[in-house]
Amino acid sequence: MQKIIGIVGIPPLEIIRQINEEQGKIVDLDEPQLPLSMNRETHLPQVYCAILRTVMLNAMNMPLDRVYIDVGPGKCDCALHVATVLQNFLTIPIITTRNRDSEGFGYPICRSNLPLLEKLQAITQGVQSCKPSPDYPPSVPTAGFWGVPPRDFSLLSLFPDSTHVYGWSRCMENKTPADMELESSCNPAVPTVFFAQSFCAKTALAKHLAERHPKGLYVDCDVNAGSSVRAKIEAFLELSRDAASAVPAASTASTDNGSPGDDHAAG
């Protein structure tokens, strides 16, 4: 009988390989899997990362055979504590991992012209495989999305298809979730939204990078992206577009960050 195995964060590739070999079904517990209200989750404080509250909600209400939770530098300290809570409530094995994988698999999806929502769906789906992403031709970016896959994917529909993905999402596709250098990299030539889940430690990095970026906007949101968050992103992208169209093409920045074909800004 096929085992159903929950994962939180990105367990090391070796673990994914083992699960694939035993033909287990991987369930990403970071994503909403059940049509249940978040209020049903009562074991964590209400003021806590919405992704980890989602993990709790899923893990407590799904028929799982075991769970792998990455608690190393590629995830967060909060996941470590959530692992403890789950170990105390569930009888199935809750296995903590510390992913230090450093072999880069590339990030063609991040640089592609797919709609941003599809990009993030493909990236999160890719975590369940040991293979690199399919090859996509790189696009010319007009906007950037830096951060983790949001709890509420609907906010991604506000971005143009030519949005490039940075931050931990790029590390996910590259299968190196603890690569701080890759996580911190972005393109100063494109207007970039620096997103983090409210109450996540990554809010500090997101805010810091947004402040240093010449055209950066820091945004955080909790369970759902409310109207003010959506309006902020919408306004930022539109006003950035207006500003870019007002600048003569010759003076518009076109930056090469060292990766051929990557991240040239549209003029």
Partner 1 sequence: MLLADFGTSYTKLFTMAEESEPRIVPTRELDPAFMADLATGHNAKRRGRESVNELIALAKGGRRLIAEPDAVLLDCGSRDIKFIRYQDFEVADMGWNAECGASMGFTIELLESYYNIDYTTVAVPETGFSVTCGVLGMSNIFDAVVTGSSETEAVAKFVRGIARNAFRFAGSPDRLYLSGGLCDNPLFLGCFPCVVIPLGRFVLLEGLKEHLRSKESH
Contact 40, 100 (CB under 8 A): no
Q: Give the residue with the Cβ less far from partner 1, 32 or 191.
A: 191
**Could you tell me the smallest distance in angstroms from the CB atom of residue 33 to partner 1?**
27
Structure tokens, 135: 């090859």
Position 217 contacts partner 1 (CB under 8 A): yes
Stretch that binds partner 1, among 52-60, 149-157, 240-248, 253-261 (CB under 8 A): 240-248
Which residues have CB under 8 Å from 182's CB, separation 6+?
Answer: 104, 170, 171, 174, 176
**Could you tell me the smallest distance in angstroms from the CB atom of residue 239 to partner 1?**
5
**The binder of partner 1 chosen from 34, 180, 235, 249 (CB under 8 A):** 235
- In order, the DSSP letters of 3-25 are -EEEEES---HHHHHHHHHTTPE
- Return the beta strands (E) in 29-182 as ranges: 66-70, 94-97, 143-147, 163-166
Helix, strand, coil percentages (3-state) for the chain, rounded to 5, are 35, 15, 50
Please name the residue that has the structure tokens 């049903």.
40
Position 157 contacts partner 1 (CB under 8 A): no
**The binder of partner 1 chosen from 180, 201, 204, 243 (CB under 8 A):** 243
Position 107 contacts partner 1 (CB under 8 A): no
Strands 192-197 and 216-221: parallel
Structure tokens, 103: 């072999």
Q: Give the residue with the Cβ less far from partner 1, 55 or 143.
A: 143
Q: Give the residue with the Cβ less far from partner 1, 145 or 218.
A: 218
Contact 153, 225 (CB under 8 A): no
Stretch that binds partner 1, among 100-108, 134-142, 163-171, 231-239 (CB under 8 A): 231-239
Position 239 contacts partner 1 (CB under 8 A): yes
- Give CA–CA dist 211/250, Å, rounded: 26
What sign does the CA torsion over 203, 177, 153, 35 have? negative
Q: Give the residue with the Cβ less far from partner 1, 18 or 198.
A: 198
Stretch that binds partner 1, among 74-82, 90-98, 107-115, 236-244 (CB under 8 A): 236-244
Position 166 contacts partner 1 (CB under 8 A): no
Position 234 contacts partner 1 (CB under 8 A): yes
Q: Give the residue with the Cβ less far from partner 1, 239 or 249.
A: 239
Name the site residues for partner 1 (rule: CB under 8 A): 217, 226-228, 231-232, 234-236, 238-240, 243, 246
